[in-house]
């Protein structure tokens, strides 16, 4: 029953994909669009195949930058959240700056960062890190402080120490919220990395992540390869999202309702 259902879902998705490809090709035929403006699906597929090694190199670089940025924001974000969870006073003082971190347009500060830190993979990671940080801090803090008062009292009744309350109560309680933060950040980590690369993400001439390659391809009017890169970027974003979803399910499905509903549906 379930397999039948998912087969049907897969079939619908494929049908929609075919329809979109047909529409794409149809537009080119109908309006006689030049390949440098809109390459045909076939040309894009050709670009993917012939330039597969460089495409994969770019994809790998961007994936690595986004992953390191995300991992870094996870570590730093949780540490900051632990600090925020210590007292409402600390929270009131510093929380507004977290929001600032989220509202500041990354496109605007990316050139600054590259100016200060220099071009290269490191600064791109930093851009990804900054863009990922706020959701992790906000969600983790929320998770840490929203523990039921009675649960804390229960721990106190057993003479639990502060570290025990943190490790055995607040942290596991915050886990679903932390995963919500990761899920949000995973999507924007890839965007952050590509944004960073657009402003000079080449470690040496000719080699760079997707953002760098997009810029290069557009300057060379290699529109077919540009399309291939955009698709690669989307696939990467999807892969990040999928991996976090899987991790969330893996760690939470036994006890948490939100993760459970995924495998029930």
Partner 1 sequence: METMSKADATAVVANTVAVATVLEPAISLKGATKRYGTRTPGATILDGIDLTVAKKEFVSIIGPSGCGKSTLLKLVAGLNPITKGTIAIDGMTPANAREIVSFIFQDATLLPWRTVRENVVLGLELEGIARARRSEKVDAVLKMVGLAHVADRFPRELSGGMKMRVSIARALATRPKVLLLDEPFAALDEMTRDRINEDLLKLREEQEWTALFVTHSVAEAVFLSTRILVLAPYPGRIAHDIAVDLPFPRNEETRSTPQYEQYVVEVSRALRGVSKA
- What is the smallest separation between the CB atom of 173 and partner 1, expressed in angstroms? 8
Per DSSP, the residues of 5-69 read: HHHHHHHHHHHHHHHHHHHHHHHHHHHT--TTTS--HHHHHHHHHHTHHHHHHHHHHHHHHHHHH
Does position 262 bind partner 1 by CB under 8 A? no
Does position 83 bind partner 1 by CB under 8 A? no
x-marked contacts with partner 1 along 121-150 as a string, rule CB under 8 A: ---------------------------x-x
- 10 Å Cβ neighbour count for 217? 21
Does position 257 bind partner 1 by CB under 8 A? yes
Does position 256 bind partner 1 by CB under 8 A? yes
- Quick one: 15 or 151, whose CB is closer to partner 1? 151
Does position 254 bind partner 1 by CB under 8 A? yes
Among 11, 52, 94, 255, binds partner 1 (CB under 8 A): 255
CA distances from 239 to 55, 145, 242 (A): 16, 31, 5
CA distances from 134 to 79, 88, 140, 154, 262 (A): 12, 18, 10, 32, 26
The conformation of residue 173, written as its DSSP 8-state character, comes to H
- Quick one: 13 or 151, whose CB is closer to partner 1? 151
What residues contact residue 175 under an 8 Å CB cut-off, 6+ apart?
143, 251, 252, 256
- Quick one: 40 or 139, whose CB is closer to partner 1? 139
**Interacting residues with partner 1 between 147 and 176 (CB under 8 A):** 148, 150-151, 153-160, 164, 168-169, 172-173, 175
Contacts with partner 1 by CB under 8 A lie at 148, 150-151, 153-160, 164, 168-169, 172-173, 175, 254-257
């Amino acid at each position: 029953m379930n397999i039948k259902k998912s087969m049907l879902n897969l079939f619908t998705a494929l049908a929609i994909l075919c329809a979109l490809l047909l529409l794409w090709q149809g537009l080119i035929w109908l309006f006689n669009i030049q390949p440098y403006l809109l390459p045909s699906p076939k040309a894009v597929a050709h670009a993917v195949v012939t330039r597969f090694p460089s495409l994969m190199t770019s994809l790998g670089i961007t994936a690595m930058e986004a992953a390191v940025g995300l991992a870094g924001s996870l570590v730093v974000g949780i540490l900051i959240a632990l600090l925020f969870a210590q007292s409402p006073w600390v929270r009131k003082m510093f929380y507004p700056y977290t929001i600032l971190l989220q509202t500041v347009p990354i496109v605007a500060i990316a050139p600054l960062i590259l100016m200060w830190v220099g071009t290269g993979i490191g600064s791109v990671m930093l851009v990804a890190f900054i863009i990922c940080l706020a959701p992790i801090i906000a969600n983790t803090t929320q998770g840490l402080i929203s523990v039921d008062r009675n649960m804390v009292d229960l721990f106190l009744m057993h003479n639990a120490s502060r570290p025990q309350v943190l490790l055995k109560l607040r942290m596991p309680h915050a886990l679903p919220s932390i995963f919500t933060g990761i899920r949000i950040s995973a999507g924007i980590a890839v965007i952050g990395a590509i944004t960073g690369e657009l402003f000079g993400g080449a470690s040496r001439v000719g080699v760079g992540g997707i953002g760098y390659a997009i810029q290069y391809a557009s300057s060379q009017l290699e529109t077919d390869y540009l399309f291939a890169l955009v698709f690669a970027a989307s696939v990467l974003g999807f892969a990040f999202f999928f991996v976090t979803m899987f991790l969330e399910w893996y760690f939470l499905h036994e006890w948490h309702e939100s993760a459970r509903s995924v495998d029930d549906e």
